[in-house]
Structure 1
Amino acid sequence: MKLRITPLFPVKRFAAMAAACVMLVSVAACGSKSDSGATVNPGEAIISVNNTEPQSPLVPADTNEMGGGKVIRYLFEGLVSYDVNGKQHLEVAKSITPNDDASQFTIVINDGWKFTNGEAVTASSFADAWSYAANVKHAMKQASRMSIIKGYDELQDPNVSDDAKLSGLEVKDDHTLVVTLNHSDSVFPVQLAHQSFFPLPSVAYKDIKAFGKNPIGNGPYKLKSWDVSKSITVVKNPDYKGSRTVKNGGIEFRVYTDEDSAYADVLAGNLDVLDAVPPSAVKTFRTAKNVTAYSQAGSTYQGFVIPERLDHFGFDEEGQLRRQAISMAINRKQIVDKVFSNTKTVATDFTSPLVPEYSKDLKGAANLEYNPEEAKKLWAQANKISPWSGDFKIAYNADGSHKAWVDAVANQIKNTLGINAEGDSYPTFSDIRDRVTDRTIATAFRSGWMLDYPSAEDYLTPLYSSASADGHGSNDGDYKSPKFDQELADALSQTDESKRTAALQEAQETLLQDLPSIPLWCDNVAAVSAQNVKNVQFDYTNMPTYNTITK
């Protein structure tokens, strides 16, 4: 049967939610630097936006953080994409056709696509990239994204050759790729929007790190320059053939180590777009002069991970009691009100209100509610198993304006449980990610997740599946639960949407008991742009659609 391309949630529902929640405030002012200077053709203007320094070279399957991800999404194009309304578009793919039980997919590639070095984008461009990502010898951070494809487990053998391929990929010809999965997965066509499934040109494999410093893609933009720790500039790719029409000349991703500085630059007219205002501005940004403010429902998950390797926090009875106690010691609503001026949505599960599987009523959701008396009771029960010793710390990056909420969370834990709890600051996002990635961090640590495609699966598989643990994905706490893995696999095998939703919610109920991470809230869009900037939209990832912005 031919695959029917439909949004994972109703487009009208998404648009209505955005319209109901969005607020644009434009305050006229004189003397703004963004209003001065020579007139530039909107199609040629370079738009300046905030960013952090990427942790790694810009290789799609080796990037699992926002500093690199923001750029990669615009240097490459995949088989499919999603627009601001959550509607799926075929891009490099001409068609994606499943067999009867969604365990095999035939992908037909559109003709005429090419990388910016002139090489044609073919079925092999995808198959080779996916096999390279899956092969344990290459240590790609997003390797587990390929675990659904047949042959992945064989490529995890440390003795495998570095050119071994996924057996589930069959290139029929330049335009036809047959993908055989380990089991049925009705969400596979949705997952193909993720950057780990982007194609790579053949030159990438000669020196993958060198390639990542000067990536060659097939997306709406191409790399112009990368001034490390300062900025990355991309310019319009005239040969791009996809649906993301480019309305400017390029994007300058400026690296900031302090979000307050970025906000000040927007106010002064020195930065065009800031995608998240700092806590210091959440009470005032809607009425600030010289800017346009944006506020709407968002999907970016925020919480903190307590690695199972920490003393007292194994995935056993003591660890479960302590995780639940810590979660119940946190008054999320108070922090959202006082620290963030209601620019966050308090977590009730492990997803966000923008995906159809979201729920406020799952079994175990009470573990995310403020209940200091129950928290004390659970902590005392854990102490009977093994008396508590030491401090409880939450690591965070100082360049991301996290200090205020981390201090608030730590103080609530300290006051409720009677233990020493505090924040542990790292200078930059790259610093903390390096410690998390190599498993040398010895504390809990903040965790954020930007939605890659509009499905609860994108929160659950990469963050909590066993295949994503031990450095093979984004399961940074190394949570491994055969029960959860099976529930997730059963859910993804469902071709009926209502049954799949119910099964994914059941899998979440396991997480709500185990609490491999402590969900706190979802970031709403709270952003600003300079007043002369136009056509700023935000998609389901909470990010601006950079290609539409003009000035």
Structure 2
Amino acid sequence: MRGTTRTVAVAGISAAALLLAGCGGSSDEGTDTPAAKAGGSITVRGCNPENPLVAGNTSETCGGNVLDVVTAKLVKYNVDTAAPEMDIAESIETSDNQNFTVKLKADYKFHDGTVVKAKNFVDAWNYTAYGPNAQYGSYFFEPIEGYGDLQSTDPDGEDGPQKAPEPKAKAMSGLKVVDDTTFTIKTTAKVSNLRVRLGYTAFSPQPDAFFADPKTFGDKPVGAGPYKVDAWTKNAEIKLSKFADYSGDKAGNVDNITFKIYQDANAAYADVQANQLDVTDEVPSSALIDDKYKTDLPDRNNQQAEGVIQTITAAPTSVDPNYGPEIRKAISMAINREAIIKAIFNGSREAATGWVSPVVDGYKADVCGEACVYDPAKAKAALDAAGGFKGGKITLSYNADSSHKEWTEATCNSIKQALGVDCVATPVVDFSTFRSQIQDRKMKGLFRTGWQMDYPSIENFLTPIYGKGASSNDGDYNNPAFDAKLAEAAAATDAAESNKLYQEAEAILAKDMPSIPLWYNTSTIGWSDKVTNVKVTPFGVPDYAGISLK
């Protein structure tokens, strides 16, 4: 991996980002776009989804990229600007940012031919939010009234003999079906950017077929998007075909899209060069050096800013107690971000000075302060003041099926030279295994983390990652003052005031260092000479539905 007509609801994209997003295209922007033809088949790089393709249980890009074209939501995001636009929703109205009335377009169809009704949203959201269903997207429904009644706590932890009691309820009191095309949402407190959030995958509706068999549904999901899943061969490919009865206004161009699952970004890149793969959303580090990719793929490459930040997270202290806040700050000051960006990424990244991407409105520079500035002497002094590193050697884990080897090794070298502590870049076979180890709290030491915005808001870079119990809070960060500030910001009705409060929340992160900011991404992609109309969204993902064959 995400508004009413009266509101410009991008509390979201800044003017600079809008310009960057609009100036995509190939490296030769003076040429005309080749003529496109309708239909045909394309192949694109994929990676192993962590979980079955269930919208409420997919919180990573391997599955999210597929679901982006398989699902439809109340809101979609403009592929050029990320501005929210109505999709299944006819309107989303509120007078107080706490009580919302949603009206659906009539006869919007799922892939199985059934009509999307209000209950398909309400039932899906309740299923995702219900604690015992253990859906990764559950946290996104926390603002809705009654969410807490769907949760329960295991009194002696997951490994103890006792079991968590049944939650008080199975449905959130804040969701009500009015009729087939109308439902209402009531939030516990005011949520000024709720409309912006509703284009995220977890807010997808589910057809009645999902509830009949949720466990097997994810192998061949039924959505309402421009493409439907035909087959998923695990560890090999996911085949999609164009949905003939798609109800939205942005139908796909090609007849078939196959996500070919690669274990190595270099292999995917080589296949694009040889025209054996049509699109790769990842150009390996070796091809970024001296802009080699522009020579390898003349007139068939694109690089632009995206709403993505790369970070390093430490295992929770309950898993590995050797990486406390002061140790994390020392490690951060030991990382020569600028040198790594120049050597490994050919300058195609921007050193991060905080936890929020510059792509969104509300971004503030230098929030991290000196902790994000390379200074070997201060880093060593900070480590000594913290009592030194007591874990033997520092480990930095990464998934080996993408091009992380070079930069993680360079980062470890920087840390080792500055701190005098051995640091080892440690590969994990693929993204699915990597994320499972993190989610199961089996990963020790440091590990790479990255965040692709779900929806264009400063809040999205804070709440889902660092809020207590949040679905992507991989380090189990917990600071009540931070959570209180998030709640205050969410309740603000003025966008500028809301952004200010979110900035104050981010400043709390600078004190606790729950993760180590590395750099803000630009997206670099390449494609074969068989396709045209290839562009990257502000989310850093190719607009798969917009791709055509020449």
Q: TM-score, normalised by structure 1?
A: 0.92
Identify the match of residue 394 of structure 1 among 384, 393, 396.
396
The letter of the residue matching 1:372 is P
- Alpha-carbon separation, structure 1, partners of 2:303 and 2:26: 5
* AA matched with 1:91: D
1:143-183, Cα deviation, whole Å (9 max, x unpaired)? 11111111111111232269811111111111111111111
Aligned equivalent of 2:238: 232
Q: 344-353 vs 211-220, which deviates more?
A: 344-353
Q: CA deviation at 1:87?
A: 2.0
Residues 21 and 204 of structure 1, relative CA distance in 2, 3 Å threshold: closer
Q: Cα offset for 1:492?
A: 1.3
Is the CA contact 1:307–1:313 (under 8 Å) kept in the aligned structure 2? no
Structure 2 partner of 1:32: none
Residue 269 (structure 1) shift: 0.7
**Counterpart among 479, 482, 498 of residue 480 in structure 2:** 482
- For 1:75, which of 70, 86, 90 is the aligned residue? 70
Task: Identify which of 381, 385, 395 aligns with 2:385.
Answer: 381
Given the superposition, is the C-alpha separation of residues 26 and 162 from structure 1 closer, same or farther in structure 2, using an over 3 Å criterion?
Answer: farther
Of 104, 109, 117, 2:104 maps to 109
Alignment counterpart, residue 521 of structure 2, candidates 520, 523, 530: 523
Residues 21 and 412 from structure 1, CA distance in 2 versus in 1: closer, same or farther, beyond 3 angstroms?
farther
CA contact (8 A) 2:301 2:525 kept: yes
Residue 88 (structure 1) aligns with: 84
Q: Tell me what 1:458 maps to.
A: 460
- 1:31 is aligned to none
CA distance in 2, matches of 1:22, 1:222: 27
- CA gap 1:542/1:274 in 2 versus in 1, 3 angstroms: same
In 2, the alpha carbon distance for the partners of 1:289 and 1:99 equals: 51
Match among 4, 17, 21 for residue 20 of structure 2: 17
CA 1:530/1:178 → structure 2, altered by over 3 Å: closer, same or farther? same
What is the letter of the counterpart of residue 521 of structure 1?
W
Q: Distance in 1 between matches of 2:107 and 2:422?
A: 61
Alignment of 1:59-70 (within 5 A): 59-70=54-65
Asked whether the 8 Å contact 2:320–2:445 carries over to 1, the reply is no
> How far apart in 1 are the matches of 2:307 and 2:507?
20
Counterpart of 1:42? 37
Q: Once the two structures are superposed, what CA deviation does each residue of 1:116-148 show, in whole Å capped at 9, x if it has no partner?
A: 112211111011111100111100011111111
Aligned to 2:360: 355
Corresponding letter in the other structure for 2:309: Y
**Which residue identity lines up with residue 411 of structure 2 in the other structure?**
V
Distance 1:211-1:375 versus aligned 2 partners, 3 A rule: same
Q: What is the alpha-carbon distance in structure 2 between the residues aligned to residue 481 and residue 53 of structure 1?
A: 33
* 1:12–1:358 CA distance, 2 compared to 1 (3 A): closer
**Residue in structure 1 matched with residue 312 of structure 2 by the alignment:** 304
Residues 353 and 365, structure 2, Cα contact 8 Å, conserved in 1: yes
Give the secondary structure class of the aligned counterpart of 1:435.
helix
Letter in 1 for 2:373: E
From 268, 272, 284, the counterpart of 2:274: 268
The answer to whether the 8 Å contact 1:27/1:289 transfers is: no
The alpha-carbon deviation at position 290 of structure 1 amounts to 5.9
Deviations 1:529-549 (A, max 9, x none): 112311011111101111111
Task: Give the counterpart of 1:167 among 154, 173, 176.
Answer: 173
What's the offset of the Cα at 1:392? 1.1
CA distance in 1, matches of 2:76, 2:511: 34
CA pair 291-229 structure 1, distance change in 2 beyond 3 A: farther
Amino acid at match of 1:525: S
The 2-side partners of 1:329 and 1:373 are apart by 9
State the Cα distance separating 1:523 from its structure 2 match. 1.9
Query: Which residue in 1 is equivalent to 2:510?
Result: 512
What is the CA deviation profile of residues 266-324 of structure 1, one whole-angstrom value per residue up to 9, with x for unaligned ones? 1101111111200111120012256611111122211111123254457xxxx221111
SS of corresponding position for 2:144: coil
State whether structure 2 residue 201 is matched by structure 1 residue 195. Answer: yes
Alignment CA distance shift 1:258-1:498 (3 Å): same
Letter in 1 for 2:386: A
- SS of structure 2 residue aligned to 1:414: helix
Aligned residue number for residue 256 of structure 2 = 250
How many residue pairs end up in the alignment? 529
- Residue of structure 2 aligned with 1:341, choices 346, 353, 359: 346
8 Å Cα contact 1:226/1:233 also seen in 2: yes
Contact 1:91 1:242 in 2 (8 A): yes
Q: How big is the shift at 1:515? A: 1.4
Matches within 5 A, 1:146-225: 146-157=141-152, 158-160=164-166, 164-225=170-231
The equivalent residue for 1:419 is 421
Structure 2 alignment gaps of length 5 or more: 153-163
Q: Distance in 1 between matches of 2:478 and 2:210?
A: 33
Q: Which amino acid aligns with 2:173?
A: S
| Amino acid across the alignment from 2:424 | E
**Structure 1 residue ranges without an equivalent (≥5):** 29-34
What is the CA distance between 1:99 and its match in structure 2? 3.0
Distance in structure 2 (CA, Å) of the matches to 1:538 and 1:394: 30
| Inter-CA distance 27–391: structure 2 relative to 1 (3 Å threshold) | farther
| Residue of structure 1 equivalent to 2:157 | none
The Cα offsets for residues 97-123 of structure 1, whole Å up to 9 and x where unpaired, read as 1232x1121111111112111221111
Change (3 A) 1:56 1:250: same
CA offsets 1:345-390 (integer angstroms, 9 cap, x no match): 211111212111112133x43221112221112111110xx76242
Q: 1:396 touches 1:403 (CA, 8 Å); kept in 2?
A: yes
Secondary structure in structure 1 of the residue aligned to 2:166:
coil
- Output the CA distance in 2 between the equivalents of 1:169 and 1:240: 27
1:491 is paired with a residue of what secondary structure? helix
Q: 1:56 to 1:289 in 2, by over 3 A?
A: closer
SS at match of 1:182: coil
Query: Partners of 2:297 and 2:354 in 1: how far apart?
Result: 37
Identity among equivalent pairs (%): 34
How far 1:10 moved relative to its partner? 5.7
RMSD of the TM alignment (CA)?
A: 2.2
Name the residue aligned to 2:296. Answer: 288
| Matches of 2:506 and 2:458, distance apart in 1 | 10
Find the aligned partners of 2:447 and 2:274 in 1 and give their Cα distance.
34
Indicate if the aligned counterparts of 2:13 and 2:457 stay in contact, CA closer than 8 A.
no
Q: 1:342 is paired with a residue of what secondary structure? A: coil
Q: Distance in 1 between matches of 2:389 and 2:225?
A: 55
Note the alpha carbon deviations across 1:420-446, whole angstroms, 9 max, x for none.
211111111111111111111122211
Residue 543 (str. 1) matches residue 541 (str. 2): yes
Task: Name the SS for the 1:478 alignment partner.
Answer: coil
Specify the code of the residue in structure 2 equivalent to 1:429. F
- Range moving further from structure 2, 349-358 or 265-274: 349-358
Give the Cα–Cα distance (whole angstroms) in 1 for the partners of residues 169 and 491 of structure 2.
Answer: 30
The amino acid that maps onto 1:321 is E
Name which of 49, 52, 62 aligns with 2:47.
52
C-alpha displacement of 1:206: 2.1
TM-score, normalisation: structure 2: 0.92
Distance in 1 separating the partners of 2:178 and 2:525: 46
